[in-house]
Amino acid sequence: MFRWFLSFVLTIALIVVISDADLQSQPSLQTDMTPGPYIKVDQFGYRPQDHKVAVITTPEVGFNAQESFSPGTTYEVRDANSHQQVYSGQIQLWMDGKVHSQSGDRGWWFDFSPLNKPGSYYIIDAANQQRSFEFEIRDDVYKQVLITAVRTFFYQRSGFPKQPPLADPRWTDGAAFLGPGQDTEARYVYDKDNPALARDMRGGWFDAGDTNKYVTFATPVIHQLLDAYSHNREIWTDDFNIPESGNNLPDIIDEIKYEIDWLKLMQDDDGGVFIKLGTIDHNNPEIPSLDQRPRYYAPKCSSASISTAGMFAHTALVFREFPVLNEYAEDLQNRAIAAWDWFQSNPKRTDCDSQTIKSGDADRSEREQKGGTVTAAVYLLQLTGDTKYNQYIRANLTETQPFKDDTWSRYSSYEGDALLLYTQLANGDDNIQQQISDRFREMVLSNKASYGNSDLDPYRAYMSDPQYHWGSNLVESNYGNTNYDVLLYEVDPDHADSYKIRALDHLHYLHGVNPLSMVYLSNMYEYGAEKSANKMYHQWFGGGIYDHALNSPSGPAPGYLVGGPNQYYTGSSKPPVGEPPMKAYFDENDPRKKAWEITEPAIYYQSGYIKLLSNFVSSPSH
């Protein structure tokens, strides 16, 4: 159906490719036009072979409803250097001019997919003297964006100095939380004065805008980064300018190992895993290295233990590919089995985290722990070859998120990813594999709102209203990821292009094809963005010395994916209050305005985005 639709659009578009002779005859062109808010493009650009659609909108509802735009019928792509036209065509009205309820906008599309010549370009409505931001077309257009996004994990490292040349001189700090009573000798939160219970829990990543560390919150991060590596190994080079660069291991493997080293410290000798580590108040200093507050760890928990079993097993599978990491992988395998055994022999609790350590409830529900059991069992089955794990998968399969939701892995992505991997395992149970495959295939073919079809949203990245909640940008990434899974597992090969386009459209949304024309990555001006997230809620980068004016080129460190529009925002600032779901956003970091509900980044937002982006980064040999 989508191919027919695309063919129809291209047929009626009356596209005119201007010949060299035509270019020579064009009159002089205006070159000082300021980009306006009406023509939205991926501000980084597009690969030559990929589908390319600019979105044109005019607002009807929301903070910008007073603005008005009536587009011309013919749009042009112009070379950003010569300002000569290289492509033109008619635009297509979205849904007969209907106002889109989620954005409050009317929309049009300009398909310029046939343009594949590398270069820098912009799109112009000559009749109205409106133009887009500039963008590039080239094979490696997303490579530097990927490197920058991955480097945020280096900036999130706890207990590690961020100094030049590894850190940009604008964003430096000393090693945090290595002082007395901190991560090298953290105390048990329910026996604070007992030095005999002090534990070395240094390292790992700050979780989000806060500097605490949560075992369960790391679960999607480790699994998605490992999958990002496994699905596209050739792009993961050893030159991301992190401390381990040049050690003949892909830098993403080194970065994962930094977190895994911390998770090993969170595991007790009996296999159980402590659930979180951090401070017990919100008295944050200006930068992490100045934070001298004592740090505490919370109890061992079933949710943390089963999550860690899965993370260790999956990591062992990948790390054993590298001879230098064979012993490390073997240790992780033993630790994964020990964590699994501890989970099986101890009570399944959902009340381990009292949130005395501030904040974020790191417990997992009974259903989520069953999903964690399935996830861990899949990787342990592949790792050990022991088919006993099949019985746990069979017993809990229908409790996993993909069997509860109508979209495979927009939530609890690691569960859906593990199940799809299971369908490929030689020692998997045939009946279970068939049940998983049938469920995924039926979901893909029946749910056109989530898979393949970009028509429901003028911005081409449809999510239903409830998904525009706290952290909506993660769900945007995961919609893209689940569409790309259709390609990886060849579920509907006759319509593969439509799923690839849908995955790309969710990426383009995060890169500026959204109602705010905003790249939802922090401070990407030096990497091609012309309107980027300027502020974010973050203990280090969210205020104080980094609280710069809007559009400052020296705001927060670059590459962090902010949370995104949140129609359920509980503050009183307008916007987000009173806006359509996709406009429920503000570029703010003020805690008095509850900015954390909108602009706070998180390592699990980052991993979902990196996994999606990595699918469209061409290998160095391409």
pLDDT in tens, 102-123: 999 999 999 999 999 999 999 9
DSSP H helical ranges for 45-108 = none
4, pLDDT greater than 50: no
The 10 Å Cβ neighbour count of residue 430 is 7
612, pLDDT greater than 60: yes
Amino acid 619: pLDDT? 75
Query: What band does 31 get if pLDDT is binned at 50, 70 and 90?
Result: low
Which SS3 state, helix, strand or coil, does residue 91 take?
coil
- Domains belonging to the chain, first-starting first, are 2-137 (2.60.40.10), 142-336+343-357 (1.50.10.10)
Amino acid 140: pLDDT? 96
483, pLDDT greater than 60: yes
362: which residues sit within 8 A by CB, 6+ positions away? 214, 215, 216, 217, 275, 276, 298, 303, 304, 352, 353
For 490-546, how does the pLDDT look when each residue is reduced to its tens digit (9 = 90+)? Answer: 999 999 999 999 999 999 999 999 999 999 999 999 999 999 999 999 999 986 555
457, pLDDT greater than 50: yes
Average model confidence (pLDDT) across the chain? 93
Which SS3 state, helix, strand or coil, does residue 490 take?
coil
265, pLDDT greater than 60: yes
Q: Look up residue 20 and give its two tokens.
A: 């060299």
CA dist., res. 554 & res. 156, Å (int): 18
For 76-99, how does the pLDDT look when each residue is reduced to its tens digit (9 = 90+)? Answer: 999 999 999 999 999 999 999 999
18, pLDDT greater than 90: no
Q: How far is CA 261 from the centre of its chain?
A: 23
For 285-339, how does the pLDDT look when each residue is reduced to its tens digit (9 = 90+)? Answer: 889 999 999 999 999 999 999 999 999 999 999 999 999 999 999 999 999 999 9
Closest CA to 561 of 497, 498, 474, 491: 474
- Angle formed at CA 82 by CA 77 and CA 84, multiple of 5 degrees: 40
Residue in the block written with tokens 């603005």: 67
Find the mean pLDDT for residues 556-567. 97
Distance set, CA 179 to CA 35, 183, 193, 207, 452 (Å): 50, 8, 17, 20, 52
The 10 Å Cβ neighbour count of residue 397 is 20
CA dihedral for 337, 349, 257, 479, sign (positive or negative): positive
CA dist., res. 472 & res. 439, Å (int): 25
17, pLDDT greater than 60: no
Amino acid 546: pLDDT? 53
8, pLDDT greater than 60: no
20, pLDDT greater than 60: no
